[in-house]
C-alpha cells in the first residue's frame, strides 16, 4: 500500500490530505505537525479550521486510511511520498526583509526528512515557495542522503479557503512539476496516478519544476491584480457617480475578461496574496527586473490605499472624528465561510479606527475574541508562524469588545461597518438595527452586500464601496 505523509496540518495540509484519503482508499495518509494543539484538534470533535464540508470528509476517513499525529519522524520515515505544507512566512529581518520568503520551516523539514529517511522518497512541495526552492531543497536532501534517492516535485495548491473541499473534489487543474530526467518523469507519473483517481487526466498539467513554482505565484498575482483593478475603479466610480457593480458587470460580460473576481471591496486579504506578490517582487528585483517588480508592487499599494480610503470615509463622514463613538464591526474573517483572519483587511480597518479612539464592538460568526485580540496586537508578518512559535505579541493587548451577534454589536452604535460578506449580513433586520442605533446612523459597507436604497429609506446614511455617494458623504470628501 502506498504511504503518504504530509508535514504541516494547516489550512492546506489538512483538507488536501483528507480529500486524497477519501478519493484513494488504497493509500494510507498520515498528516503530521509539530503543533500538538493542532493535531489534537484534528483528532477531536471540533476541527482546527472551519471549512464547509471538511468535517464530513475527515470523519469518513479518520481511523481508516487517514491519521493525524505529532510523531513526525516515524511517519516521514515510513512514507513513499512526503508532502511538505509548512509555513512560508515573509522574512522580517535580514536580506530581503519585508519581501522574501522565510524558508526556515521548509529547510528544517527537509533536513529532518534527510535525517530519518531509510528508503527512497518523493518529496513534494505543497507550500507556496519562491522559484528555485526545489533546487535548494534538493541540495539539502542529496548532500545528506546516505545513498537514498530523493525526487523533488512541485505540486502547488490552488484551493481557495471557504470552498476548499469543492475545489479539491473538482479542481480547475492540478499542477505537477518535476525534473526532466527519467527518475523525475517517473516521480511525476507516481503523483499523477494519485490525482488521476478522481481528477480527469486533461486537468493534470505536468511541467518542469520552475514553471510549476512560478505558476503558483503568477496565479495569485493575477487574482489579486483583478481585485486591485476593480478597487481602483471603485474610487473613480465614487468620484464620478458611476456604480462599480454596473461597471464590473459590463466589463465581466466580455468573454476575454470573464465575470469572476470583479467584486469591489475594502481590499483583499488572506494568507497568500500579499505574501506571494511580495515574494514575486523580490524575485524580480533579484533577477534585475525592477520594472516588473514595480508593476506587481502596485497591486499591493492599491490594496493598502483601499483600506485607508475606507477608514477615511468613515471618520470624515462622522464629523471627522470617531473618538469615543461606538462602531460595530460586522465580520472579521478575510472572507465568508472561513474563520481565517490572516491578513484580513479588518485588521487595518479596526486599527485605523482604534487609532482615532473609536470603541469597537466586533462580531464574526467564526472568529473568537482571543483571535481578534491577537490579530489587532500582532506585528505585521508575525502571524505566519506555527502558533506556538509566534513571536510574543506586544505587552499591551488591544482590548476590544467582541460579541456573539450582530444586534448586540450594533446596539447604541453610531455606525456599523461590514467587513466580511457573510450571507447572514444580507438578511439582518436593518429596521430593528436602525431603531437601536444612535442617530444619525451610518452604514459603511466594505463588501457591497446591503441594499443601499432600502437602507437609505429606513433612514441610514450609507456608504457602499464604489456606489454613487450619499448626499451626506458628498459634502464630506474623504481626505486620503
CB of 438 vs ligand NAI, minimal distance in Å: 39
* Other C-beta atoms lying within 10 Å of the C-beta of residue 97: 13
How far is CA 441 from each of CA 123, 327, 349, rounded to the nearest angstrom? 57, 10, 19
CB atoms within 10 A of CB 31: 29
Q: Residue 92 in contact with residue 384, Cβ under 8 Å? A: no
Span 3-62, contacts to ligand NAI by CB under 6 A: 7-13, 32-35, 38
Q: Which residue is nearest to ligand NAI (CB)?
A: 10
> Is 371 near ligand NAI (CB under 6 A)?
no
| Least spacing, CB of residue 27 vs ligand NAI, in Å | 20
Please give the full DSSP string across 249-274, using - where no structure is assigned.
HHHHTSTTT-STT----S---SSSHH
Site for ligand NAI in 284-313 (CB under 6 A): none
- Estimate the share of the chain in helix, then strand, then coil, as percent rounded to the nearest 5: 45, 15, 40
Q: Which stretch binds ligand NAI (CB under 6 A): 102-110, 196-204, 206-214, 411-419?
A: 102-110
Give all strands (DSSP E) within 59-135, no chain letters. 66-69, 81-84, 121-125
Q: Which is nearer to ligand NAI, 313 or 342 (CB)?
A: 342
All three cell numbers of 136:
535548494
Question: Which range in 2-10, 56-64, 238-246, 412-420 contacts ligand NAI by CB under 6 A?
Answer: 2-10
Position 88 contacts ligand NAI (CB under 6 A): yes
Q: Does 128 bind ligand NAI (CB under 6 A)?
A: yes
Kindly list the catalytic residues.
Answer: 272
Give the whole-angstrom CA distance, residue 352 versus residue 367: 20
Which stretch in 153-161, 225-233, 284-292, 307-315 sits in contact with ligand NAI by CB under 6 A? 153-161
Asked if 108 and 140 touch (Cβ cutoff 8 Å), the reply is no
Asked if residue 109 binds ligand NAI (CB under 6 A), the reply is yes
| Residue 305 beta carbon to ligand NAI: minimum distance, rounded to whole angstroms | 24
Residue span 157-196 as binding mask against ligand NAI, x where in contact by CB under 6 A, dash where not: x-x-x-----------------------------------
Please, what is the minimum distance in Å from the beta carbon of residue 398 to ligand NAI? Answer: 22
**Taking CB under 6 A as the rule, does residue 77 contact ligand NAI?**
no
Q: Does 343 bind ligand NAI (CB under 6 A)?
A: no
CA atoms of 104 and 366, how far apart (whole Å): 30
Q: How far is the CB of 20 from ligand NAI (least distance, A)?
A: 15
Place of cell 488504497: 26
Cell readout for 116 is 530519518
Helix (H) or strand (E) holding 55: helix 54-61
Which one of 86-94, 299-307, 345-353, 369-377 is the stretch in contact with ligand NAI (CB under 6 A)? 86-94
DSSP 113-153: HHHH--S-EEEEE-S---TTHHHHHHHHHHHT-TT--EEEE
Write out the residues near ligand NAI by the rule CB under 6 A. Answer: 7-13, 32-35, 38, 72, 85-88, 105, 108-109, 127-128, 157, 159, 161, 271-272, 386
Amino acid at each position: 500500500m502506498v504511504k503518504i505523509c504530509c508535514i504541516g496540518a494547516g489550512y492546506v495540509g489538512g483538507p488536501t490530505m483528507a480529500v486524497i484519503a477519501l478519493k484513494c482508499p488504497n493509500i494510507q495518509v498520515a498528516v503530521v505537525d509539530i503543533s500538538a494543539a493542532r493535531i489534537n484538534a484534528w483528532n477531536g470533535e471540533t476541527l482546527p479550521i472551519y471549512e464547509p464540508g471538511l468535517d464530513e470528509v475527515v470523519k469518513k476517513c479518520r481511523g481508516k486510511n487517514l491519521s493525524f499525529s505529532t510523531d513526525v519522524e516515524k511517519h516521514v520515515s515510513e512514507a513513499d511520498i512526503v508532502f511538505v505544507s509548512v509555513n512560508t512566512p515573509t522574512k522580517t529581518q535580514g536580506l530581503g526583509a519585508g519581501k522574501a520568503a522565510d524558508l526556515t520551516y521548509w529547510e528544517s523539514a527537509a533536513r529532518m526528512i534527510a535525517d530519518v529517511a531509510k528508503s527512497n522518497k518523493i518529496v513534494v512541495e505543497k507550500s507556496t515557495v519562491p522559484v528555485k526552492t526545489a533546487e535548494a531543497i534538493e541540495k539539502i536532501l542529496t548532500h545528506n542522503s546516505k545513498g537514498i534517492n530523493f525526487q523533488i516535485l512541485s505540486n502547488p495548491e490552488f484551493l481557495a479557503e471557504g470552498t476548499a473541499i469543492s475545489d479539491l473534489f473538482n479542481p480547475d487543474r492540478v499542477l505537477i512539476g518535476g525534473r526532466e530526467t527519467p527518475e523525475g518523469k517517473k516521480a511525476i507519473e507516481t503523483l499523477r496516478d494519485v490525482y488521476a483517481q478522481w481528477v480527469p487526466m486533461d486537468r493534470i498539467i505536468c511541467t518542469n519544476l520552475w514553471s510549476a513554482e512560478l505558476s503558483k505565484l503568477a496565479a495569485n498575482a493575477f487574482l489579486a491584480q483583478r481585485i486591485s483593478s476593480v478597487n481602483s475603479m471603485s474610487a473613480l466610480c465614487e468620484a464620478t457617480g458611476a456604480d462599480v457593480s454596473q461597471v464590473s458587470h459590463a466589463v465581466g460580460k466580455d468573454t476575454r475578461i470573464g465575470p469572476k473576481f470583479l467584486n469591489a471591496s475594502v481590499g483583499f486579504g488572506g494568507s497568500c496574496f500579499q505574501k506571494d506578490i511580495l515574494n514575486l517582487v523580490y524575485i524580480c528585483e533579484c533577477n534585475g527586473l525592477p520594472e516588473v517588480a514595480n508593476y506587481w508592487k502596485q497591486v499591493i499599494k492599491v490594496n493598502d490605499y483601499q483600506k485607508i480610503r475606507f477608514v477615511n470615509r468613515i471618520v470624515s463622514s462622522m464629523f471627522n472624528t470617531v473618538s469615543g463613538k461606538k462602531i460595530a464591526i460586522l465580520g472579521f474573517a478575510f472572507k465568508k465561510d472561513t474563520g481565517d483572519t490572516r491578513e484580513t483587511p479588518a485588521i487595518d480597518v479596526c486599527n485605523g479606527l482604534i487609532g482615532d479612539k473609536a470603541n469597537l464592538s466586533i462580531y464574526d460568526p467564526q472568529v473568537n475574541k482571543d483571535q481578534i485580540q491577537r490579530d489587532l496586537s500582532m506585528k505585521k508578518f508575525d502571524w505566519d508562524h506555527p502558533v506556538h512559535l509566534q513571536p510574543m505579541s506586544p505587552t499591551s493587548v488591544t482590548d476590544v469588545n467582541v460579541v456573539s451577534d450582530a444586534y448586540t454589536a450594533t446596539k447604541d452604535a453610531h455606525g456599523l461597518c461590514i467587513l466580511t460578506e457573510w450571507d447572514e449580513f444580507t438578511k439582518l433586520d436593518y429596521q430593528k438595527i436602525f431603531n437601536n442605533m444612535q442617530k444619525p446612523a451610518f452604514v459603511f459597507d466594505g463588501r457591497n452586500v446591503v441594499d443601499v436604497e432600502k437602507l437609505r429609506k429606513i433612514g441610514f446614511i450609507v456608504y457602499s464601496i464604489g456606489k454613487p455617494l450619499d448626499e451626506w458623504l458628498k459634502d464630506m470628501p474623504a481626505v486620503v
